[in-house]
């Protein structure tokens, strides 16, 4: 049977499985299954529960999104978050049957449920302006008849995720499931997150920035609160970013991930352990030159959850995710600092839940040819068994291109890693137009994972080339830091070296028909490339940066990111910002450039696209500008489904128009 080619709207045929949660008593596991309704143009998330010896079945039903399944300590109930009644609220439901009970009625919704060790309370997060927002029947504020101005007094007053910030803050609250009484645990004009309950039920840990001026002192500290006295103790030193807290089973240690900003935003995330009795904080992966966590770039899964440290029953060790050489896998670490790999496949482990007493795991795994399924792993016997087959029928229907790894040296001898994908229907002896993809971040990592955009392009007859240039995670601290202050320098050389290597190595690339595209930092690099070379016949820049001068202050991170990353400022290093701005060199652009941008992108605001388009248009350059309404920086990953399809088709059609040889 001839397989058909993948199209942009195959997004509506794919199923995403995320956030696996394994319960040790019953050995049942829960997870979130997400599909996209083409008819309703919306995401539908359902919680499933399964066991190793049987097929998983839907646990929740109805429209909307059900997420964050969390087992009660005895395994008899699941708490989860649902939007079935518009606002996201927390529900609790017996696993063996019964109705779901809505247990929060917060005005602004609720999320991140954490069971108390005794199973009678839930710790959760909610946006709060006043304590009234926590109560059932809280009045919804009536629409004002007359508009009022927004008064801004803080450096940080908007967010790509939330839009313009108001007087609400993310606070932690505790719900007594028997009495339904809710206690607000944190107060004030600060945000709190990453809640974790101590094994004895007497304390909770969380992260917050409680510095006097949080706008200027950019940190996230770990705190422990005594639930009886409400006293808070800070366990980190106001010099870094920390998150993802877990307690050791014996309550002696707090484990979390983070760093002390030694290289600002380019610092490797590491494993930290705080001993409560001695009040000593240790970095346990100081000598491990690897990024802890999953930083793989993709455009399919959203809602991936980093479990942090998954402690063994004896509290002497833990498992954790890490990103290395374009793959994500599982490491084991011990309190005494020993670290070694447990599972390092050439794949993307994007979700994991471990029964640490038996050293077994349920993992979500994706590859370049597989959107993702759940697997059972036994770390001792190395047994591996596929548990789900949600994308099997689709995979059997379409032609999927595999990503083949490549490695090469930049002109200065640095090793660079990447991949190349042949077009669908590849024929030996034929030459194909080729598209060079550049990832965002820049401190992220292309990986051995499914990328829908790449498959749409290979199905159209393009070779797709992608690489991890300097600035990418996965290749050590020196490599990820090398881009700071050098945007458009050695990173640009790495990207172009990938193109040179591919042309020298693969005879199926048509050197006269090359394209380039990327988003965010990848959009910056696309802009930079077409302003510094004419070797590309077409380019697509997405949610990009074109002008570091105007970026300063207009982005939700623009008042510090430019200083940290470009190493320029508005005081005495203005020329540094201008010299690294692609728009400075716009007169040199001869490549037809398509500009894609979301209108509510507060990370790379749309003014970056607007001025680039006008500058090109006024000089008679070939360009087109596509604006996506109500879309933020996450359009390609979790944005409006119909607009995601439009975006993919605009990219494909632009390259079809300007590159010869595409089908």
Q: How far apart are CA 604 and CA 155, in angstroms?
A: 17
Given the residues 520, 581, 631, 636, select the one marked as catalytic: 520
User: How is residue 532 written in tokens?
Assistant: 């510094």
Q: How far apart are CA 455 and CA 529, in angstroms?
A: 24
Is beta strand 339-343 parallel, antiparallel or unpaired with respect to 327-334?
A: antiparallel
Please name the residue ranges forming H helices in 300-451: 392-397
Evaluate whether 49 touches 56 at the Cβ level (below 8 Å).
Answer: yes
Alpha carbon distances (Å) from 230 to 135, 185, 528: 21, 7, 52
Is residue 580 classed as helix, strand or coil in its secondary structure?
coil
Alpha carbon distances (Å) from 627 to 178, 551, 646: 50, 18, 11
Paired strand residues for 164: 158
Q: Strand (E) positions, 520-581?
A: 538-542
Q: How far apart are CA 243 and CA 290, in angstroms?
A: 17
Distance of CA 411 to the CA centre of its chain: 32
Q: Tell me which H or E stretch contains 576.
A: helix 574-579
Is residue 142 classed as helix, strand or coil in its secondary structure?
coil
Tokens 């927390």 correspond to: 90
Q: Tell me the CA end-to-end span of the chain in Å, nearest whole number.
A: 21
DSSP collapsed to 3 states, 477-516: HHHHHCCCCCCCCHHHHHHHHHHHHHHHHCCCEEEEEEEE
Q: How far apart are CA 111 and CA 267, in angstroms?
A: 29
Given the residues 443, 597, 633, 650, select the one marked as catalytic: 633
What lies within 8 Å, CB to CB, of 3 at 6+ separation is 396, 397, 398, 399
Mark whether 51 is an active-site residue: no
What lies within 8 Å, CB to CB, of 556 at 6+ separation is 156, 158, 159, 160, 602, 603
Tokens 């009234």 correspond to: 132
DSSP assigned state of 296: B
Paired strand residues for 467: 418
Mark whether 520 is an active-site residue: yes
User: How is residue 517 written in tokens?
Assistant: 């595209």
Evaluate whether 208 touches 186 at the Cβ level (below 8 Å).
Answer: yes
What lies within 8 Å, CB to CB, of 535 at 6+ separation is 499, 514
Is residue 29 classed as helix, strand or coil in its secondary structure?
strand
Q: How far apart are CA 5 and CA 458, in angstroms?
A: 9
For 213-238, the DSSP string reads -TTTS--BEEEEEETTT--EEE-S-S
Q: How far apart are CA 630 and CA 156, in angstroms?
A: 21
DSSP assigned state of 460: T
For residue 307, say if its preceding peptide bond is cis, omega within 30 degrees of 0.
no
For 363-384, the DSSP string reads EEEEETTEEEEEEEEETTTTEE
Q: Which residues are catalytic?
A: 520, 633
């Amino acid at each position: 049977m001839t397989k058909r080619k993948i199209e942009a709207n195959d997004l509506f045929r794919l199923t995403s499985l995320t956030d696996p949660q394994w319960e040790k008593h019953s050995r049942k596991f829960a997870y979130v299954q997400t599909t996209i309704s083409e008819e309703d143009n919306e995401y539908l998330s359902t919680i499933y529960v399964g066991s190793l010896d049987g097929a998983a079945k839907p646990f929740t039903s109805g429209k909307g999104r059900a997420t964050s399944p969390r087992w009660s300590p005895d395994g008899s109930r699941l708490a989860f978050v649902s939007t079935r009644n518009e606002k996201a609220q927390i529900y609790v439901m017996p696993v063996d049957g019964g109705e779901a009970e809505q247990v929060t009625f917060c005005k602004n919704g609720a999320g991140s449920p954490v069971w108390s060790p005794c199973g009678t309370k839930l710790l959760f997060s909610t946006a709060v302006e006043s304590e009234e927002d926590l109560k059932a029947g809280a009045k919804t504020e009536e629409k004002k008849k007359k508009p009022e101005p927004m008064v801004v007094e803080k450096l940080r007053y908007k967010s790509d995720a939330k839009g313009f910030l108001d007087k609400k803050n993310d606070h932690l609250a505790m719900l007594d499931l028997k009495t339904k009484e809710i206690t607000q645990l944190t107060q004030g004009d600060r945000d709190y997150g990453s809640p974790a309950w101590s094994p004895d039920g007497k304390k909770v840990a969380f992260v917050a920035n409680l510095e006097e001026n949080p706008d200027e002192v950019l940190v996230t500290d770990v705190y422990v609160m005594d639930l009886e006295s409400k006293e808070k103790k800070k366990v980190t030193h106001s010099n870094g970013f920390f998150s993802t807290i877990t307690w050791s089973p014996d309550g002696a240690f707090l484990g979390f991930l983070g760093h002390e900003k030694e290289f600002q935003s380019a610092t490797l995330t590491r494993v930290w352990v705080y001993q409560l009795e001695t009040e000593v904080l240790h970095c346990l992966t100081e000598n491990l030159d690897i990024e802890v966590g999953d930083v793989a770039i993709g455009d399919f899964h959203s809602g991936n959850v980093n479990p942090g440290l998954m402690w063994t029953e004896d509290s002497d060790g833990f498992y954790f995710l890490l990103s290395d050489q374009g793959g994500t896998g599982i490491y084991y670490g011990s309190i005494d600092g020993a670290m070694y790999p447990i599972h390092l496949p050439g794949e993307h482990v994007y979700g994991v839940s471990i029964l640490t007493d038996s050293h077994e795991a349920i993992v979500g795994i994706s590859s370049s040819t597989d959107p993702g399924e759940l697997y059972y792993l036994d770390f001792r016997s190395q047994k591996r068994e596929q548990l789900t087959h949600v994308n099997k029928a689709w995979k059997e229907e379409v032609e999927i291109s595999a990503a083949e790894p490549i490695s090469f040296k930049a002109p200065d001898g640095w090793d660079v890693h990447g991949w190349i994908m042949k077009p669908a229907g590849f024929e030996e002896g034929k030459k194909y137009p080729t598209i060079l993809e550049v990832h965002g971040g820049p401190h992220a990592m292309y990986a051995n994972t499914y990328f829908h955009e790449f498959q749409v392009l290979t199905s159209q007859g393009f070779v797709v080339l992608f690489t991890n240039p300097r600035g990418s995670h996965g290749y050590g601290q020196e490599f990820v830091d090398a881009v700071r202050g050098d945007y458009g320098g050695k990173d640009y050389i790495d990207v172009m070296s990938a193109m040179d290597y591919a042309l020298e190595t693969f005879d199926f690339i048509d050197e006269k028909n090359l394209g380039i595209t990327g988003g965010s930092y990848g959009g910056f690099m696309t802009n930079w490339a077409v302003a510094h070379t004419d070797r590309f016949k077409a380019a697509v820049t997405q949610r990009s940066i074109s002008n570091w001068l105007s970026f300063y202050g207009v982005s939700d991170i623009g008042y510090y990111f430019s200083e940290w990353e470009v190493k320029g400022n508005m005081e005495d290093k203005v020329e540094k910002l201008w010299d690294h701005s692609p728009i400075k060199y716009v007169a040199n652009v001869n490549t037809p450039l398509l500009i894609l941008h979301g209108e509510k992108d507060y990370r790379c605001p749309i003014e970056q696209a607007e001025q680039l388009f006008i500058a090109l248009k006024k000089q008679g350059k070939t360009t087109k500008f596509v604006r996506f309404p109500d879309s933020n920086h996450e359009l390609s990953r979790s944005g409006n489904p119909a607009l995601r399809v439009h975006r993919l088709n605009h990219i494909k059609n632009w390259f079809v128009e300007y590159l010869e040889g595409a089908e």
